[in-house]
Amino acid sequence: MKKIGIIGGLSSESTIEYYRLLVRQYNKIKGGLSSPDIIIDSLDLETLTNQMQNKNYPEMLANLKQAAKNLVAGGAEVVIMATNTPHIVFEELQKSISIPMISIMEATAHKILEKKLNKIGLLGTRFTMQTGYYHKALKKFNIEVIVPELEDQNLIDKIIYEELVYHTITQESKEIYLEIIGKLQESGAQGVILGCTEIPLLIKQEDSPIPVFDTTTNHALAVLQFALAEEED
C-alpha cells in the first residue's frame, strides 16, 4: 500500500479516530496482525485556531505546508488533513507538495451522491458554517448546502471547542445537536454533514431522523481506498 501521511492534532481526538479507523479497516481487509503504513505530523490546535479566527490564512497555510512537507520527507505517498476547518486552504496546500491529497469535502460529496441527495445541512465550527468553502466545494457536485441559524451555530461551535475536543460527551449536548438537525430537516435538508471531525463522537446515524455523513469515517476510508488501489488492480 501507499504510505499515508496525516496532518493531525486539529484536534487530537479526531486524529485518534482517524488512526483507529484506518488501522481497524486495514486489518479487517488484510487480516492477521496487519496494520497500515502511517505517519502523523501533529500540530498545535491553539495556534491554528487563533490563525483561523483572525483570518491569518497565510500563516496557517505556512504551518500546514510545513507539516505536509514533513510528511513527504518521512515517506508519505498520500496526505490528508484529519480535520474539516483548515480545508479552506486545501487547494493551495495541495499545490505545495508533489504527492496527492484527498479532500474531505469530495469524499463527503461522493457519499451524498450515493444516496441521491441534493440538499444537505452542514454542522461544523462557526468558521466552517460561515465561510462557505463547503458550499463552494459541493456546488460542483450540484449539492445545495444549508446551515443553522446564527444562534444555533454559536451553540454548535461552543460544544465543539468546550467539550468535544476534550472528548467530553453529554446527553444534553446531543439533544441540542439533534434539535438543530430537526430544524434543518424542516428547512428541507435531506441529510446532514457532520462537518467537524469531532461531531461523530457525539452524533451517530441511529440518533438522527435523516442520513448523517460522518466526515471522519468517509475521509479515512477514502484515503485507505486510495492507498490500497494498486493492490486491488
The 3-state DSSP class for residue 200 equals: helix
Looking at the structure, tell me whether residues 221 and 167 fall in a common domain: no
Looking at the structure, tell me whether residues 117 and 66 fall in a common domain: no
**Distance from C-alpha of 90 to C-alpha of 69, rounded to nearest angstrom:** 14
160-180 tens-digit pLDDT? 999 998 999 999 999 999 999
Listing DSSP states for 37-101 in one string gives: -EEEEE--HHHHHHHHHTT-HHHHHHHHHHHHHHHHHTT-SEEEES-SGGGGGHHHHHHTSSS-B
Looking at the structure, tell me whether residues 84 and 110 fall in a common domain: no
Q: Which residues participate in catalysis according to the annotation?
A: 83, 196
Q: For residue 18, what is the enclosing H or E element? A: helix 12-30
Looking at the structure, tell me whether residues 9 and 64 fall in a common domain: yes
pLDDT grade, residue 11 (50/70/90)?
Answer: confident
Looking at the structure, tell me whether residues 78 and 49 fall in a common domain: yes
pLDDT grade, residue 13 (50/70/90)?
Answer: confident
- Per-residue pLDDT, 231: 66
Looking at the structure, tell me whether residues 136 and 88 fall in a common domain: no
| Mean pLDDT of the 116-131 span | 95
Looking at the structure, tell me whether residues 185 and 110 fall in a common domain: yes
- Per-residue pLDDT, 85: 87
Number of compact structural domains in the chain: 2
pLDDT at 122 over 60: yes
Q: Find out whether 198 and 165 touch, Cβ atoms under 8 Å.
A: yes
- Per-residue pLDDT, 8: 96
Looking at the structure, tell me whether residues 135 and 221 fall in a common domain: no
Summary mean pLDDT of the chain: 94
pLDDT at 69 over 90: yes
| pTM greater than the 0.85 cutoff | yes
Looking at the structure, tell me whether residues 88 and 136 fall in a common domain: no
Looking at the structure, tell me whether residues 97 and 174 fall in a common domain: no
Q: Above pLDDT 90, what percent of the chain?
A: 89
Looking at the structure, tell me whether residues 83 and 156 fall in a common domain: no
- Per-residue pLDDT, 232: 52
Looking at the structure, tell me whether residues 111 and 93 fall in a common domain: no
pLDDT at 117 over 90: yes
Domain hosting residue 130, numbered range: 105-214
- Tell me, what CATH number does 126's domain have? 3.40.50.1860
pLDDT at 233 over 90: no
